[in-house]
Amino acid sequence: MKFLAQPPRFLFFTGKGGVGKTSIACATAVDLAACGKRVLLVSTDPASNVGQVFGIDIGNKITAVDAVPRLFALEIDPQAAAQGYRDRIVGPVRGVLPDAVVKGIEEQLSGACTTEIAAFDEFTGLLTDAGLDADYDHIVFDTAPTGHTIRLLQLPGAWSGFLEDGKGDASCLGPLAGLEKQRIQYKGALDALADPLRTRMVLVARAQAATLREAARTHDELTAIGLSRQYLVINGVLPCAEAHNDPLARAIVEREQAALAAIPARLRTLPCDQLSLKPFNLVGLEALRGLFAQAAPLPANDDDAPFVSTAPTLAALVDEIAGDGHGLVMLMGKGGVGKTTIAAAVAVALAQRGLAVQLTTSDPAGRLAETLDGMLANLTVSRIDPQAATERYREQVLRTKGAKLDAAGCALLEEDLRSPCTEEIAVFQAFAGVIRDAGKQFVVMDTAPTGHTLLLLDATGAYHRDVARQMGESGVHFVTPMMQLQDRHQTKVLLVTLAETTPVLEAAQLQADLLRAGITPWAWIVNNSVAAAQPHSALLRQRARSEMREIAAVATRHAGRYAVVPLLRAEPVGVERLLALTAGARREDLI
């Protein structure tokens, strides 16, 4: 593996959701430990599943992976980090200031911005901690999907610049209160990230046009912030030999080889490795050790029986949704499970029925326009653009609150509005606007990957608690965005997953998180099912057998209602192919 040759101290694995970052990061950590190195494996994904891969509980503390000598792991838990951050800020004033003041400070520190700062604080600490430097030869970072990771990697520069310019002084005991002490730490983190002798960025992609384009965009964004030492790993490539006597596998091979032949020019210059698709789920130590190995020959098929003969369809779910006439439909799940595709398919199916539909996304790396590749009557497309939302929010605050301030007050207000925290507030406001739109039409929302979405819901919950506290004794009726999300007549949450062990476990965890917030998922969608596509190749049929266990778990343990969507011969891009997902795909289209 080229990306493992003479590895530096820090290795970051990043890329679009679902490309296999966690598996490759875990396998890398195991490989380095087997070579005698002391390794710390860190997940910066708010929806980390590193513990699930190793079959152990990790959490927000450094934990030995007992089955692998010299390997330790840590999952940065944003909520635990935020609580620790709040304790450090509030602790010194508790019992000193009046209880009402302390309560107000705690409320101010309850939002998503505090959560992001706290997780970021831990991340930069890992890059600069002298103790860790002495304890470990390598720190391997399994990151969140691309959009969230790019923001995380940009933050050391953003916060350093904010503090160097003397900003933040206007913030007293709010989320910025502890940042001034971290000025040196952030500068050290920035230096470590930009040093190719200490840091290597590994872009992980699949042999698909969309993920390769995403990798090229990530390459450009990382280069722009000084992270130029990059490698490329193309994961899960179906071996050409599997195409023999199987038209389904042949179509996959042709599609993947065409994508590889058209790889963006700026990626061609990067050192590149290819990993073949494995017939097994990448869970457990044995599977991780086999990830970088040459694939062993598979036995010939001796059973060509169909896998999924009857299962609920996406069309049936859309029929049920359409009966409401309007409402919010939110697609949630881990990165790479196909939320964008399913959201677009649901939207075009509703629009074709003559219903007014707004299709939108809260994903910073959302690609709705590329998936739709066209338009349809009754359908509008929008996006919660963090930069545009932030600019609108700044203008609104300056126009309202700023109008009552003198020149000095306006200057302080403008300084606070240049804080990176402002983006979280602005995105929440845009999200609340989308929820309001669902009162008169269908709004189908393609959300960001799980961790990022949970942070957005955290902001929604914090706003609800603040409003409830202020209005509780007034007797005035009020409705917050969180209350609308909790109302199943107004909001239907569809959890999208793959028929694989880790995605199903993550979807179940997301469902538990939502239930604790009073939000009950309406249905599960098992997407890109190989079993439903009835393959004949030995490798694909072996994967299909393992899928059947996961589909049964969804049907019997997790979901009140569900649907299974088969893999298609051609990528579901364009209105016609998206409509096929909800109109019953033909056998010759399946893959």
**Which residues are annotated as catalytic?**
18, 20-23, 45, 502
Three-state secondary-structure class, residue 379: strand
Residue pair 312/561 in contact (Cβ under 8 Å)? The answer is yes
A 10 A CB-CB count for 353 gives 14
Half-sphere exposure in the Cβ direction for 1 (13 Å, CA): 23
Q: In whole angstroms, what is the distance from residue 52 CA to residue 42 CA?
A: 14
Q: In whole angstroms, what is the distance from residue 130 CA to residue 589 CA?
A: 56
Neighbouring-strand partners of residue 272: 232
Nearest-CA neighbor of 333 among 450, 451, 444, 492? 450
A 10 A CB-CB count for 154 gives 15
Three-state secondary-structure class, residue 566: strand
Residue pair 362/447 in contact (Cβ under 8 Å)? The answer is yes
Residue pair 160/194 in contact (Cβ under 8 Å)? The answer is no
DSSP 46: T
Q: What are phi and psi of 117, to 5 degrees?
A: -60, -40
Q: Under 8 Å CB-to-CB from 466, ≥6 apart: which residues?
A: 107, 110
CA dihedral defined by 580, 586, 587, 591, rounded to 10 degrees?
-20
Cα angle: 84, vertex 85, 88; to 5 degrees: 90
Residue pair 216/27 in contact (Cβ under 8 Å)? The answer is no
Three-state secondary-structure class, residue 11: strand
DSSP 491: E
Q: What are the Cα distances from residue 492, in Å, to 59, 133, 320, 324? A: 31, 48, 11, 11
Nearest-CA neighbor of 203 among 222, 177, 186, 189? 222
Q: In whole angstroms, what is the distance from residue 378 CA to residue 371 CA?
A: 17
Residue pair 232/199 in contact (Cβ under 8 Å)? The answer is no
Q: Under 8 Å CB-to-CB from 294, ≥6 apart: which residues?
A: none
Residue pair 385/419 in contact (Cβ under 8 Å)? The answer is no
Cα angle: 434, vertex 439, 445; to 5 degrees: 35
Q: What are phi and psi of 37, to 5 degrees?
A: -90, 150
Q: In whole angstroms, what is the distance from residue 551 CA to residue 543 CA?
A: 12
